[in-house]
Homo-oligomer: A and B are copies of this chain.
């Protein structure tokens, strides 16, 4: 090759970070809107920066070029190293059964949710009618549109699972999101079991020790998880499902094949490495008692502090209330601990009619997501608590200036 060789690698300074570019994360000057609508997990960035080179991924130009990872696996596009890392991570945390279960990798848990709908709908006894998809309100705001955007004849969004339990008929799929986005509650299925007619998807995106006590080893037919919320690496678009039934795992893999012909190997390998470093911390350091160096302890500490600061502001100005969560015994830490959800689910105290999203946007330029999007009243608003510290601090400062809703709102 002639000419001067260009630099071999993209070094840190040439790749964007959440702090270096205004278009990439909320900015903090007081006349800017603080965007806390998405759950962008910037809060975890500082931990991984501290880990330095141990988490640095190196891929040469000739690696990972094939479509295929392992033709002997039902999920033929899954890197063996990724599967191994996922199994190890669940064993370290103890949050889900993985022995004798199939792992299916997806382009984030968004894709796996759709793969699960597809797999269940194909095995449903429903005949020509689309299977009803339900979830207890307040439900994750993206379920309705992820279910309906292609106007599938296989399945359709049917709203709140409580309503369906009372009045719904026919085959259904219930999505159980636990801890629940937006309100952080630990959940069980709502629709009373109707035998073969009902299928369950457990969306366990937030069932990790920084957000919640690990109250049991989860063991359900389909459980989905995501790299975005477990370690905070949302940009890699990596999720996985733990699946009991072989035919369901096969159909989910087939869905991903038809949807995207596999999942980025670069990101699968990066996820495997980062999960590996996380697990090494636990398996090498049990006796060292330097828990601040361990990912989940470090992250739970930050979330606990944020919740304490948030509750102080909310209690002081008496405009909103926040859910109260019971302490529960955490199998992972061996302690009684509180949940520290990734979102604040704020409810306006003054009257049913207040549009809390509008109030926050209008009075303190904070962008949250209205309760309407989650299937409940607009007196609720969801605010991300996963921003970086600078943005979180600015949010609390702005929130502390709110005095009364009725004068700002309608």
Contact = CB atoms under 8 A, between A and B. Distances in A.
A228 interface: yes
A260 B110 contact: yes
Contacts of A65: 18, 41-42, 44-45, 48, 232-235
A38 interface: yes
A16 B71 CA distance: 14
A228 B61 contact: no
Interface stretch (A7-15, A167-175, A177-185): A7-15
B55 A61 contact: yes
Nearest to A109: B261
A12 B62 CA distance: 9
Interface in A6-42: 6, 8-12, 15-18, 23-25, 38, 40-42
A57 B61 CA distance: 7
A99 interface: no
Interface in A288-341: 288, 290, 293
A154 interface: yes
A28 to B, nearest CB: 16
Nearest to A148: B258
Chain B CB count within 10 A is highest, among A18, A41, A265, for A265
A276 interface: yes
A283 to B, nearest CB: 9
A53 interface: yes
Contact of A3 (B11, B46, B61, B288): B288
A315 to B, nearest CB: 31
Contacts of A276: 6
Given A59-B57, A68-B38, A280-B3, A259 B114 contact: yes
A8 B273 CA distance: 9
A63 interface: yes
Contact of A235 (B8, B10, B64, B154): B64
Nearest to A39: B67
Contact of A153 (B40, B52, B151): B151
Given A54-B6, A260-B107, A260-B260, A69 B149 contact: no
B40 A67 contact: yes
Interface string A135-166: 00000001001100111111000000000000
B237 A260 contact: yes
Contact of A53 (B44, B60, B150): B60
Given A154-B150, A267-B267, A261 B108 contact: yes
15 contacts: A4-B284, A15-B63, A16-B63, A16-B69, A16-B79, A23-B72, A51-B61, A64-B233, A64-B236, A108-B260, A110-B259, A151-B154, A259-B259, A260-B260, A266-B270
Given A47-B62, A65-B234, 20 more contacts: A2-B285, A3-B285, A4-B284, A9-B56, A10-B58, A17-B62, A17-B63, A18-B65, A24-B70, A46-B62, A48-B60, A56-B59, A56-B60, A57-B60, A59-B270, A67-B234, A235-B265, A237-B264, A238-B264, A264-B264
